[in-house]
Amino acid sequence: MSAPLAQALAARDYAEPTPVQAAVLEAEAHERDLLVSAQTGSGKTVAYGLAFASTLLGDAERLPRAGQPLALVVAPTRELALQVHRELTWLYAQTGAVVAACVGGMDPGAERRRLQAGAHIVVGTPGRLRDHLERGVLVFDALAAVVLDEADEMLDLGFREDLEFLLDATPPERRTLLFSATLPPDIVKLAVRYQRNAHRIAVVGAERGHADIEYRCVRVHPRAIELAVVNVLRFIEAPSAIVFCNTREAVRHLLAILLERGFAAVALSGELSQNERNHALQALRDGRARVCVATDVAARGIDLPNLGLVVHAELPHDPEVLQHRSGRTGRAGRKGVSILMVPANRRRRAELLLSAARVGASWSGPPTADDIRGLDRERMLADPLLSEPVGEEDLALAQALLADRSPEAVAAALVRVWRSQRPAPEEVYDPGVDRGPRERTVTAAPDRAYDRAQDRAPGGGKPRLAGRGVWFRLNVGRQKNADPRWLLPMICRQGMITKAEIGAIRIFDRETRFEVAEQAVDGFMTAIRRLERGEVRIEQMPLDGHRHDVHRPDGHSRDGHIEGAVRRTPPRQNRTDQRPPRTGRAA
């Protein structure tokens, strides 16, 4: 290893190389083309930085004055390219290397000026590199090494034409280092075409790549995924976490939920400008944000410090995406947790994903509000603020408080302040746990109903309500997996009422009916009107021939009538009056 690079690694507390880094330094890999397959988080960036060091430096310890690039690194995404730029900058700092980045979304004029001023190593995305090459700003005459990082991902994203254009423009005698998490047939064909007698390195299997990641599957109801994500982030208070969604719309929706509940969160998706992405990543790195909500493409290859938790709010499409997502944590020997949110109708899909990725996972329900409150109590009692030495100024103020307030009042105020700094947990339940026999009753009609047994009066009878009850209905029933354990918290949350103000809940095939205490109805309807109209709609049951659709924020009912207007329904005629009875087979 070159002495300047060894010193840079020592300064970063690299005690020993990772397996992939050790493999590229072996004698049989020296000055040869390399075809390397290794899992994410295995130290590939430093590995190829070490691999082409001898090609760039030879026996020297410093590089000559920067001119045309000597090495080119191509990465699939802007974030990965900028991350590689940072890694190679500190790795080659003592060699005098100039490392330039060329990525989409950044100022192309500033990049042209940097390239014209000279650079030893150029890192970029395929499209932007090709643009500079076609304009004559990027010249490959002196190029000695080319690295394709995450080659499989670049082909998946449709960059084959750009990659071939770039490689065809490079000198034939250059070294080609191809790094990929997997080696599908297209990668093998690319290697055969552009590499010469490549040395094959397969460092780790799937099991080793996931050795530092604990996989957990959380059973959730489809309509409570966002609430379960909130509780998971509260239960596992990792220094930083990333939550994956499959679409930009899902990222926006989940980010809004987390921000509303007080999380320090940022988003990464393809609709953001590069400047916005950079600010989001910097907020995560310096601790101003703790949670990142991202799509797969936006988060490809990013390496966040102290990332201890990955949450799959939506299941990935294939095992490779699962590995890439989960590989954001458990890096460089650090432990991490990867949690998959699994609705009941997606369990088989989750099991197939885990099996194909050759990883095992534990199954459980989401953390409950009581679980989180219990942990919060332990965390508060263990807070370093309670054990740190007390200064004279703080002691004087504490004595003044105790002179005017009781110790219990001061302690209660401390508890309130501590809790106010953390988002409140949500009421969620485990849909995989069977309901008890008391939760279901059978009516005389074919439809079954549920009465809240815990609110029944002694000796049975109707549920307790402080006054008369008013009936409402939801447009979901047993056919959509309606269950009181997720309906009840949802009704309370959306209607801004308590459980004590809800009476019976009756679940039928296509709808659910529930009772609200009369004194709480006005506030309940006001709260419901503020909500956006969604898939789950709440409306008041018919009264005297009319009904209210209180879910419409504009005060109009679902059929166009103003709230409170009476819509008379004509009496239903007998079937025999509408058409004669059938007396024979139809023709």
Domains of the chain, by residue range, sit at: 3-204, 208-367, 437-540
Q: Which of 65-79, 329-343, 409-423, 543-557 has the lowest mean pLDDT?
A: 543-557
Alpha-carbon distance of 529 to 552, in angstroms, equals 6
Structural tokens at position 225? 């995924």
pLDDT digits 0-9 by tens, 52-86? 999 999 888 899 999 999 999 999 888 889 889 99
Q: Is the pLDDT of residue 175 over 90?
A: yes
pLDDT digits 0-9 by tens, 238-294? 889 999 999 888 999 999 999 988 999 999 887 888 788 888 888 988 889 999 999
Q: Is the pLDDT of residue 30 over 80?
A: yes
pLDDT digits 0-9 by tens, 97-146? 999 999 987 889 999 999 999 999 999 999 999 999 999 999 999 999 99
Instruction: Identify the CATH number of the domain defined by range 208-367.
Output: 3.40.50.300
pLDDT digits 0-9 by tens, 4-20? 998 998 888 787 888 88
The phi, psi pair for 452, rounded to 5°, reads -70, 100
Give whichever of 141-145, 149-153, 421-425 has the largest mean pLDDT: 141-145
Mean pLDDT along residues 324-334: 78
Q: Is the pLDDT of residue 475 over 70?
A: yes
pLDDT digits 0-9 by tens, 83-102? 899 999 999 999 999 999 99
Between 554 and 327, the higher pLDDT residue: 327
As a whole number, the mean pLDDT across the chain is 80
DSSP reduced 3-state for 78: helix
For the range 280-288, what are the long-range contacts, defined as Cβ-Cβ under 8 Å and sequence gap of 24 or more? 281/79, 284/240, 287/239, 288/264
* CATH architecture, domain defined by 3-204: 3-Layer(aba) Sandwich (3.40)
Lookup result for tokens 């989409």: 104
Q: Is the pLDDT of residue 35 over 60?
A: yes
Which DSSP symbol is given to 580?
P
Lookup result for tokens 């780790």: 204
Mean pLDDT along residues 516-543: 77
Q: Is the dihedral of CA 494, 498, 502, 508 positive or negative?
A: positive
Q: Which of 163-167, 221-225, 536-540, 577-581 has the lowest mean pLDDT?
A: 577-581
Q: Is the pLDDT of residue 461 over 90?
A: no
Alpha-carbon distance of 332 to 309, in angstroms, equals 15
Rounded (5°) CA angle 532-452-363: 75
Q: Which of 275, 277, 322 has the alpha carbon at shortest distance from 304?
A: 277
Between 305 and 85, the higher pLDDT residue: 85
The reply to whether domains 3-204 and 208-367 share a CATH topology is: yes
Please report the beta strands in 390-440, taking only residues with DSSP state E, as ranges in sequence order. none
In whole angstroms, how large is the CA radius of gyration of the chain?
31
Indicate the angle between helix axes 78-91 and 44-51, nearest 10 degrees. Answer: 50
pLDDT at position 298 is 63
* CATH architecture, domain defined by 437-540: 2-Layer Sandwich (3.30)
Let me know how long the chain is. Answer: 587
Band the pLDDT of 444: cuts 50, 70, 90: very low
Alpha-carbon distance of 109 to 186, in angstroms, equals 34
How far apart are the two ends of the chain, measured CA to CA in Å?
90
Alpha-carbon distance of 183 to 397, in angstroms, equals 65
pLDDT at position 114 is 94
pLDDT at position 178 is 93
